[in-house]
Amino acid sequence: MSQRIYEDVSVEGHLIDSLIMSHIMDDIVELGGEFETLSFEVGRTNDDPSRAVLRIIGPDQATLDRLMTAAQERGAVPLNASDAQWKPAPADGVFPEGFYSTTNMETWVRLSGSWARIPGAEMDLGIRVDPDARTAELVAINDVRAGDLLLVGHKGLRVIPVERPREKGAFEFMNSAVSSEKPKAQIVNEVAKLLRKTKADGRSAIAVVGPAVVHTGAAPHLARLFEMGYLTVLFGGNAVATHDCESALYGTSLGVRLDDGTIVPGGHEHHLRAINRIRAAGGFEKAVETGVLTEGLMYTLVKTGAPYVLAGSIRDDGPMPGVITDVLQAQAAMREYCRDAGACLMFSTMLHSIATGNMLPASTTTVCVDINPAVVTKLVDRGSFQTVGVVTDVGLFLESLADELAR
Amino acid sequence: MSQRIYEDVSVEGHLIDSLIMSHIMDDIVELGGEFETLSFEVGRTNDDPSRAVLRIIGPDQATLDRLMTAAQERGAVPLNASDAQWKPAPADGVFPEGFYSTTNMETWVRLSGSWARIPGAEMDLGIRVDPDARTAELVAINDVRAGDLLLVGHKGLRVIPVERPREKGAFEFMNSAVSSEKPKAQIVNEVAKLLRKTKADGRSAIAVVGPAVVHTGAAPHLARLFEMGYLTVLFGGNAVATHDCESALYGTSLGVRLDDGTIVPGGHEHHLRAINRIRAAGGFEKAVETGVLTEGLMYTLVKTGAPYVLAGSIRDDGPMPGVITDVLQAQAAMREYCRDAGACLMFSTMLHSIATGNMLPASTTTVCVDINPAVVTKLVDRGSFQTVGVVTDVGLFLESLADELAR
Amino acid sequence: MSQRIYEDVSVEGHLIDSLIMSHIMDDIVELGGEFETLSFEVGRTNDDPSRAVLRIIGPDQATLDRLMTAAQERGAVPLNASDAQWKPAPADGVFPEGFYSTTNMETWVRLSGSWARIPGAEMDLGIRVDPDARTAELVAINDVRAGDLLLVGHKGLRVIPVERPREKGAFEFMNSAVSSEKPKAQIVNEVAKLLRKTKADGRSAIAVVGPAVVHTGAAPHLARLFEMGYLTVLFGGNAVATHDCESALYGTSLGVRLDDGTIVPGGHEHHLRAINRIRAAGGFEKAVETGVLTEGLMYTLVKTGAPYVLAGSIRDDGPMPGVITDVLQAQAAMREYCRDAGACLMFSTMLHSIATGNMLPASTTTVCVDINPAVVTKLVDRGSFQTVGVVTDVGLFLESLADELAR
Amino acid sequence: MSQRIYEDVSVEGHLIDSLIMSHIMDDIVELGGEFETLSFEVGRTNDDPSRAVLRIIGPDQATLDRLMTAAQERGAVPLNASDAQWKPAPADGVFPEGFYSTTNMETWVRLSGSWARIPGAEMDLGIRVDPDARTAELVAINDVRAGDLLLVGHKGLRVIPVERPREKGAFEFMNSAVSSEKPKAQIVNEVAKLLRKTKADGRSAIAVVGPAVVHTGAAPHLARLFEMGYLTVLFGGNAVATHDCESALYGTSLGVRLDDGTIVPGGHEHHLRAINRIRAAGGFEKAVETGVLTEGLMYTLVKTGAPYVLAGSIRDDGPMPGVITDVLQAQAAMREYCRDAGACLMFSTMLHSIATGNMLPASTTTVCVDINPAVVTKLVDRGSFQTVGVVTDVGLFLESLADELAR
């Protein structure tokens, strides 16, 4: 590397045991850069934070820019802070070339010498600035308008990484998939503790659910969690609402009797008949009001007034009234609830869980429960230290959780 | 069963080895009915069809109606044929109570004494009749309008079940999931034979693809199949188009370099930058025209003029221009191609594959390839004798298939 | 097929709904033969058996022999019954060429004109005859001695297939893998009913268990089933005994604390220390006697006197005293219990479950519970109508089952 | 923590990016200890090693012992080196209480003031010392004899951890499971490179194979790798040898024709007939000699003289002659080859792969290929940085690998 340009950064925190330093070093080497450790003050005890100053070295400016962007996403801050830079969007729905793409972590922008915190945190968005007001906000690519000023490059940005929880006895399973071969009782207790705390803090708790929750007979247990106020918002699709109403109206889910598990010949028609009944009644609220729907998860949501977002998908029959068939509108509806969520529990749906995970801040504790280890791994791999995966039977898990919280 | 009412039906075909009789008997017993075999002429050799007359007995009219509906879906025909019955739709988007819900098999309706074949075949729809014109057609619940006349009950209907292929040496794996522990070379040959025949017949062949086709490096092999004309229509989502363009513009898919499998730090931004570039260019066609997009699957589709449907989902970033964000509109676009498809190949996408499977006639030969046995099992379980599942590595499979067809 | 030789067979039973006829027809066509249905008397109602006479036709004697063997395994009986044929074993541990390989179904042999039932039923063995005593018995290839008379060909044999249970409300899930998406409460009830009946009949119930039963914290629930007498024999390996003793001595399983699910650094040594302690004590019985082992599954087996077979495998550490390290000796020990088992429950072990499944008669009701659908499918595919697979969390399932039976 | 006792250790290497420091810190906190960083000299560039001195603090001696053992397994060395300590084995097959349980890493013992390297490296064994000769060796619990001197505690031990490879472009996938969604071509190349290097170094390469290698039709490709000398030892069980001979003698594997994938009715008997033929011939070598066996994997092993270990298991039929039915004897046979292996490739067998993984030194590069992600994850989780998992179709992978190496 004959030619060498560099920039110096500082980084602070539990650099070693939160893996911050090793991640930064890995990224630099992987991206074709080098580093020198200018100083490294290691915390004396396991409670003290550490502080390092690194010189990040690249062969050219483009590489150095990439190195700096990567390091900043890990929490590094340039020693010579400069203001953020921006460019106008060239057209509606188009970011300027070189736009800054967000992480799901708390982010600050330096505008005219002072740091402004951007409200919310969501990955894969742009940052729109108002230089006069010295403010910045997140914006989705589809919502940007020609002339909007969007951040470009990596200058004037500070990202606050979520640190791994250090106290023993907190959620011990953070950022890992709990194997099907681990004891489950303790995990049920930890999730119960999380929901109790979220409720006590007055924060919302989102349940993201797939139709298997109904198929496995777990919907009544989920409903109890809403009745007790431990869950406050439901995200799902047409299928979970449909099979829930099918079970309320016909006693089956996908044609399988929930009381004895037998297949009802012709029962495959029940879901379409359930959709038709709710459409005829004029929607879930009306169906509850007029006595068409007298039990089940959707009934409980209507009765408790808990908000829900049902997002459409191309495999839907019907759909049920209230299902948002435009996916961008559905995302917008979900985004509202994601911004302030205190906790998020995901059950048996890869599609809705990934969609929700895309919108949640890294700081929201998220628990993904599925019997399929591939789904759990996929969600945990995308997540932060706040994400926990549990491989187990969703039906039996929800029953245990509701029982624990009902005590 | 003190009170007994009954109806007599006849059924014809390879009743024993196509399992038609055993399915009818199972359904009757399961639904709480009984039967008497009034006659059973068994084909003397394995080529001769059999013919049976059954008396189907139920405790009450409602049960008997269910018994008859179930038997008719297996191909039974009432001895005393009567005309179909209908009722008007009570409101827009609502079927009349008791509506007939379709199967994915060829269906005939008896109107004023004569039998009319319904064009197309798709499950979970209604049948709208024009009694004056003596015609009938399929209609989705969302498309029905108040006053439309919809078939109700099971009278005046004849369903033609798809029989299991009997000749040895045809597709031997029909209606089963081919385990990962089976030899794959022969399956590649069979699928190649299917595509050759479909092309020779001048029929369309749909490819339903998920982003893993790009991640595994198989997109160039899929593109070759379009270039050679063995595949003619593509169904996918925002992700497959996005990662394909990401690979064309940045050499990565989801941030992983396709040439050496290494992760590019910061590469997780590439997909959003790829979306932005195509949006800036004004869409795939314009991007090819202006030289922004010079290779890949989407490039090949544009160059060959092969039609495609990209259906939106709530986990989409962007989306790419051309993605249909309303799921009902996306279904309508897909339905057009499903009606006449000669073959359908599904690769690595449960969402789009189930959606497509919902719309295909039972007579369309369908091959589902995925490395996850759960996905393959789910799709095959929903299918007819024409559905084949293959558990294997999609990347290696597509390469073998394209090589075989290029010979 | 110019040259045609044939043999006529009769077959009786619920030929259609038990799929006997369709299986026979499939086999004949698959093996390159043909058939003519000489007569087919179909049972008038669903309770009446049917009776058919088939002419099985082959192009040559070798093919016809294969056709006849296949048909007889489905229950067909030649109209012209002839005596069984045999040859001497050419050497110790070697069957004569053309030996008859057994199924797991009840089998009768015709010796000097009279039919003798062979005691027991196990697949993949030979049949050793004593022509003078007119008796026959099963013999494993390893146990055969030079000069022993072994059955060859298919003549003089009658196999009694296990029919599918017809009554509604019995075990509804026979011969199928219960998906993870089905309600589990009813299955727990059915298994409880099976164990109650087996106990009431005074028959043995085998539990085949892998170490995940201990890892998931389910061992105490399994122990309760032994204490209550619903399970009477345990099959396992070194691992389940080792981790059970590890949990009794150190509170961990594979180094994971069972009370709170946390990993104990250095805990990976616990299993070897547990083995050492039990070896030092002189075995499980002595360890219980001397107060070294005071709780757990092995403790319960010793206390209740329930027999167990621990079969060694190449991945064993230690092993524990009492583990049978020679696999043929271990098979012999297991075989003793398999012959008369009234029920068999398999939990979280593919190796031991397949081994046990190989030895069980087709008439023993077998339930396989695993969270991995691949394991369940593999076991159910090998089984008869008496095999049920359940995809669920073994820990939560065993807890529910023990609670249900404790009521 | 009122009472505090401590010991000081030094640790050297790429402490941060090889995660050595974070692992040590995690272990200390997890085990209820504390630490102080007395000094930490961080390597200036990414090539320079770092060096730290830590004070490890525990509440009591027992805890401190556990803390020290854990730290030493990560490579920490006590500042005040002392000699190793030992006790006599109390009985045959029993270690003294408090015995040191080995890791799979290079280990040194301090005897009378000087350090001796222990030959080999295998986990879960004891260390037997000869104080007079100042030597030490590994010993399995089953091989220990009363009075043998065994190391106890953690004093006088130094473990050399395997560091994560740092150079870019080496095996990039180390210590991780390669998802089914990654491109496979590069991985095939890396494995080919590994085998070329191992061969060039004159070292052995073990193939551990399950029967699916035969079922998928991949056995001929595996045989080519033995013919070319890239694989030199085979570990397997009775099943792989049986189905290989079944395919050579009958063209089927588990009754499925390998040329067209169809099931041969009655073909389930083929494997037992194949076993009988090889037993009749007097073993594999005799079967090749007398022309009974003329192709296949076992044939190739005999012809090339490559050694093999076939280890028995309780699910074996037969078994084939040469299968070692005592599992401790089979382990001993495998152990011989593990000690010096340059590389190890594992295909489609969890049982044999885990057994082999238990015996391999951490420094042996190991590649595990399976279509089941659960198997791959399980093996990689047990492994060191030298273990790579690949989720793909074994049949297609072996074909690509053999083609690449044949070029």
Check pLDDT > 90 for residue B179.
Answer: no
Q: Using CB atoms, which residue from A69, A97, A315 is nearest to B354? A: A315
Asked, as a colleague might, if the bond just before D321 is cis with ω within 30 of 0, I would say no
CB–CB of A393 and C180 under 8 A? yes
Beta strand residue intervals within D219-306, DSSP E: 233-237, 252-253, 256-257
Looking at residue C326, its pLDDT comes to 98
Minimum mean pLDDT range among A189-203, B295-309, C360-374, D123-137: C360-374
CB–CB of D43 and A35 under 8 A? no
Average pLDDT over residues D198-219: 95
Q: Using CB atoms, which residue from B141, B318, B325 is nearest to A141? A: B318
CB–CB of C184 and A393 under 8 A? yes
Give ipTM to 2 decimals: 0.92
Contacts of A48 (CB under 8 A, 6+ apart): none
**Residue C170: alpha-carbon gap to chain centroid:** 20
List of chain D residues whose C-beta atoms are within 8 Å of the C-beta of residue A40: 40, 42
Average pLDDT over residues A172-182: 61
Looking at residue A3, its pLDDT comes to 65
Looking at residue B165, its pLDDT comes to 63
pLDDT band, very low/low/confident/very high, at D168 (cuts 50, 70, 90): very low
Task: State the DSSP code for B63.
Answer: H
Task: State the DSSP code for C185.
Answer: H
Minimum mean pLDDT range among A345-354, C375-384, D328-337: C375-384
Looking at residue A165, its pLDDT comes to 63
Which of the residues C260, C348, C370, C394 would you substitute to probe the A interface, choosing the one with the greatest number of A C-beta atoms within 10 Å? C260
Q: How far, in Å, CA of C232 to CA of C397, rounded? A: 19
**pTM, two decimal places:** 0.89
List of chain C residues whose C-beta atoms are within 8 Å of the C-beta of residue A262: 172
Q: Which of C99, C79, C201, C205 is nearest to C148 (CA)?
A: C99
Distance from CA of A126 to the nearest CA of B (A): 10
Are D119 and D99 contacting, i.e. CB atoms less than 8 angstroms apart?
no
CB–CB of A93 and B311 under 8 A? no
Check pLDDT > 50 for residue D170.
Answer: no
Average pLDDT over residues A59-65: 88
Looking at residue B178, its pLDDT comes to 67
Q: Using CB atoms, which residue from D94, D355, D358 is nearest to C280? A: D94
User: What Cα–Cα distance (Å) separates residue D306 from each residue in B219, D223, D283, D300?
Assistant: 40, 11, 16, 8
Please give the single-letter amino acid code of residue B157.
L
Q: How far, in Å, CA of D109 to CA of D355, rounded? A: 27
Q: How far, in Å, CA of A162 to CA of A383, rounded? A: 11
Looking at residue D257, its pLDDT comes to 86
Looking at residue C221, its pLDDT comes to 96
- The answer to whether residue B312 neighbours chain A at the CB level (below 8 Å) is yes
Check pLDDT > 70 for residue D165.
Answer: no
User: What Cα–Cα distance (Å) separates residue B159 from each residue in B78, B118, B138, B165?
Assistant: 11, 10, 14, 18
Residue B55, SS3 per DSSP:
strand
Instruction: Count how many Cα atoms sit within 13 Å of the Cα of residue C211 in the half-sphere of its side chain.
Output: 19
Are C221 and C399 contacting, i.e. CB atoms less than 8 angstroms apart?
yes
Average pLDDT over residues B74-82: 88
Below-70 pLDDT ranges, chain C: 1-3, 164-178, 382-385
More confident position, A385 or C56: C56
Distance from CA of A224 to the nearest CA of C (A): 18
Torsion sign, CA atoms D182, D185, D189, D195: positive
Q: How far, in Å, CA of D15 to CA of D161, rounded? A: 11
Are B207 and B228 contacting, i.e. CB atoms less than 8 angstroms apart?
no
- The answer to whether residue C316 neighbours chain D at the CB level (below 8 Å) is yes
Are C392 and C399 contacting, i.e. CB atoms less than 8 angstroms apart?
no
pLDDT band, very low/low/confident/very high, at B266 (cuts 50, 70, 90): confident
Check pLDDT > 60 for residue A2.
Answer: no
Instruction: Write out the two tokens for A379.
Output: 């969600």
Distance from CA of B236 to the nearest CA of D (A): 17
Check pLDDT > 70 for residue B350.
Answer: yes
Check pLDDT > 60 for residue B8.
Answer: yes
Taking CA–CA distances from C16, the nearest residue in chain B reads B22
More confident position, A265 or B351: B351
Residue-wise pLDDT for A278-327, tens only, equals 999 999 999 999 999 999 999 999 999 999 999 999 999 999 999 999 99
- The residues facing D126 across adjacent strands are D139
- The subunits that touch chain B, with at least 3 C-beta pairs less than 8 Å apart, are A, C, D
List of chain D residues whose C-beta atoms are within 8 Å of the C-beta of residue B215: 181-183
Q: Chain B, 194-233: which have a CB under 8 Å from a chain A CB?
A: none
Q: Using CB atoms, which residue from D31, D69, D314 is nearest to C352? A: D314
Average pLDDT over residues A374-399: 82
More confident position, C82 or B277: B277
Looking at residue A185, its pLDDT comes to 78
Instruction: Write out the two tokens for C25.
Output: 């027809």
Q: Using CB atoms, which residue from C18, C19, C35 is nearest to B46? A: C35
Average pLDDT over residues D59-77: 89
Average pLDDT, whole number, for chain D? 90
Q: Using CB atoms, which residue from C182, C216, C259 is nearest to A184? A: C216
CB–CB of C215 and A182 under 8 A? yes
Are A127 and A109 contacting, i.e. CB atoms less than 8 angstroms apart?
yes
Percent of the residues in chain D that have a pLDDT greater than 90, as a whole number = 64
CB–CB of A187 and C261 under 8 A? yes
Q: What b/e readout covers A67-80, taking b as 16+ CB neighbours within 10 angstroms?
A: bbbbbbbbbbbbee
pLDDT band, very low/low/confident/very high, at B384 (cuts 50, 70, 90): low
pLDDT band, very low/low/confident/very high, at B194 (cuts 50, 70, 90): very high
pLDDT band, very low/low/confident/very high, at B26 (cuts 50, 70, 90): confident
CB–CB of A16 and D16 under 8 A? yes
- The answer to whether residue A340 neighbours chain B at the CB level (below 8 Å) is no
Residue-wise pLDDT for D262-293, tens only, equals 778 788 899 999 999 999 999 999 999 999 99
Q: How far, in Å, CA of C381 to CA of C375, rounded? A: 10
Highest mean pLDDT among B180-189, C28-37, D132-141: D132-141
Q: Using CB atoms, which residue from C256, C348, C400 is nearest to A182? A: C256
Average pLDDT, whole number, for chain B? 90
Check pLDDT > 70 for residue A384.
Answer: no
Highest mean pLDDT among B6-20, B226-240, C59-73, C379-393: B226-240
Looking at residue B30, its pLDDT comes to 82
Looking at residue B381, its pLDDT comes to 75
Distance from CA of B98 to the nearest CA of A (A): 8
Residue A391, SS3 per DSSP:
strand
Beta strand residue intervals within C218-261, DSSP E: 233-237, 252-253, 256-257
pLDDT band, very low/low/confident/very high, at D32 (cuts 50, 70, 90): confident
Residue-wise pLDDT for B312-339, tens only, equals 999 999 999 999 999 999 999 999 999 9
Are D333 and D324 contacting, i.e. CB atoms less than 8 angstroms apart?
yes
Looking at residue C42, its pLDDT comes to 83
Looking up tokens 């077979």, which residue turns up? C309
Counted across chains A and C, CB pairs separated by less than 8 A come out at 91
Helix%, strand%, coil% for chain B, nearest 5: 35, 25, 40
List of chain B residues whose C-beta atoms are within 8 Å of the C-beta of residue A317: 124, 141, 358
Check pLDDT > 70 for residue A212.
Answer: yes
